[in-house]
Structure 1
Amino acid sequence: MSNLNDLIPIPSKDVMNRGLSAAKESTMLRILGKPGVLSKDCSNPGRTYAKLVKYGVDVGPFKVSGHSYAVESLLLIFQQVKQEQPDVFSTVKTGGVLCVRSRRSNPSRFSNHSWGTAIDLYFGGGVVRQGLNQTQRGVYQLFPYFNNHGWYWGAEFSGDSVDSMHFELAEETILKLGQ
């Protein structure tokens, strides 16, 4: 049996994120507001935004803090994964959800982790570095669950921004929150 942390090629773009696109910072700011202070390192959400955050919620394989809708969605995703792929459920790890900070590649823009609407996932002892056109087998097995719940997979980002451990609420999902 293959290990869930084995590296495999990222699938073609016509396989993932069908009908979903990466959430734009302008949409996030318009619908969810400013999450806090833009800085290089993680900081706490601002007082106003913090009211939209659920803290320390056990979503199954680990606890997370994030936007209330994102946390509820993670609960549903991991309930389904637990039933259908218990080996994936029991070994998945998170690199984090809520972290008010700038993007690593663009310090003038907020990372979607700033709103607690993005999660980084990995298997085994380490993460797949950003820009690598590979993903871990376990993350590959998870992406359909996330796509089905309105999460965009960062494996479709291009060039040095490819981020196969990253999932974020899609632009289309964020727009529905604003209705």
Structure 2
Amino acid sequence: MKLLPGALIALSIATAPVVWSLAQTRWPAPAPGLSPAAETRLSALEVEAQGLRQALERLRGEVARLDAGRAAAPEPRRELAEGNDAASDSLMDAFAQVVLIADRRAANAGLTVATPGFLEEVIGLPRQDLTDDCQAATNPRLKDLLETADVGPIKARLLRPALVSLRQVFANVQVFEPELYRRIASAGSLCVRRIRGSQDSASAHAYGLAVDLNIDGVLDELADGRTQLGLILLADFFRKEGWIWGAGFGREDSMHFEVSREKLEQWRRLDLI
């Protein structure tokens, strides 16, 4: 029952005894010598009392109907009150759904990719004889900065400040998208190799500055302009923490997330790298 109609009904019922009393006693017969105007007024009041009595009966009928409807209403379904498993399953399925990436080239607006030249300037090459295969880092400075740690849903081997940053990303995901958090899987982090197609340029993975992720362990197809919905949601958390999303690359790689140049310059100012 809505608040205003309920209040009107309550008010009508509260005033009913007065109205009923007036209606039951009726108005006395006109006293001798009563003016025509007074007689007319008394007649009008009697008609009004009759109308109020009828309105009261209608209100009582409405209250009885509402009470009967409320008593007959079914109990709330327990699964809706406690969390519908079917709805939850539907939401979880949506995270793995593969969809087109809208306006992907604008995915990293405000952030800049750290070029191989910049990374080499800041840290040096991870090793001199880079190949297309993952190898061990031989650069002493880089080796000192690398660490393996549990960052929430996955373990990763990255630069120490990158691990701290990634842990913060996942902490935010856990708060705002706990179902998604539980579905995150890793497809790799540190991999000391050159960029595919280059001769001596090291990738962000070679510096421990990138991680590949997916939902439920299902790998994304490279360069098809599509990705899992869960990765699209994750991308916003990464961007706010200063990470680049590979979906914005010329050759779309939506599993890939790497630290932006802006973040690296911040770490350099803080003497973290």
TM-score normalized with structure 1 length = 0.91
Q: 1:137 — aligned with what?
A: 229
- List aligned pairs for 1:111-130, cutoff 5 A: 111-130=203-222
1:53 to 130, 146, 152: 146
* RMSD value, Cα: 1.6
AA matched with 1:137? L
Aligned residues: 176
- Establish whether residue 169 from structure 1 lines up as the match of residue 265 from structure 2: no
2:187 to 95, 98, 112: 95
Distance in 2 between residues matched to 1:152 and 1:135, nearest whole Å:
16
2:98 to 7, 11, 30: 7
Distance in 2 between residues matched to 1:177 and 1:66, nearest whole Å:
14
Determine if contact 1:27/1:175 at 8 Å carries over to the other structure.
no
Q: 1:34 — aligned with what?
A: 125
2:165 to 64, 73, 87: 73
Higher strand share: 1
Q: CA deviation at 1:98?
A: 0.6
Give the direction of change, closer, same or farther, for the CA distance of 1:33–1:177 in structure 2 (3 Å limit). Answer: farther
AA matched with 2:112? S
Q: CA deviation at 1:176?
A: 2.2
Gaps of 5+ in 2: 1-89
Give the direction of change, closer, same or farther, for the CA distance of 1:67–1:94 in structure 2 (3 Å limit). Answer: same
Distance in 2 between residues matched to 1:20 and 1:11, nearest whole Å:
18
Distance in 1 between residues matched to 2:178 and 2:253, nearest whole Å:
25
Distance in 2 between residues matched to 1:6 and 1:62, nearest whole Å:
21
Give the direction of change, closer, same or farther, for the CA distance of 1:151–1:75 in structure 2 (3 Å limit). Answer: same
Distance in 1 between residues matched to 2:260 and 2:203, nearest whole Å:
13
Gaps of 5+ in 1: none
Distance in 2 between residues matched to 1:132 and 1:126, nearest whole Å:
15
Q: Deviations over 1:11-42 (max 9, x none)?
A: 21475212102210011111122222412111
1:19 to 65, 87, 110: 110
AA matched with 1:50? K
Q: Which piece of structure 1 moves more, 9-18 or 108-117? A: 9-18
Higher helix share: 2
Q: 2:244 — aligned with what?
A: 152
Q: Deviations over 1:116-140 (max 9, x none)?
A: 1001111134211221101111100
* % same residue: 30
Please identify the structure whose Cα radius of gyration is greater: 2
Determine if contact 1:20/1:172 at 8 Å carries over to the other structure.
yes
**Aligned partner of residue 135 in structure 1, secondary structure:** strand
Q: CA deviation at 1:107?
A: 4.3
Distance in 1 between residues matched to 2:244 and 2:139, nearest whole Å:
28
**Aligned partner of residue 135 in structure 2, secondary structure:** coil
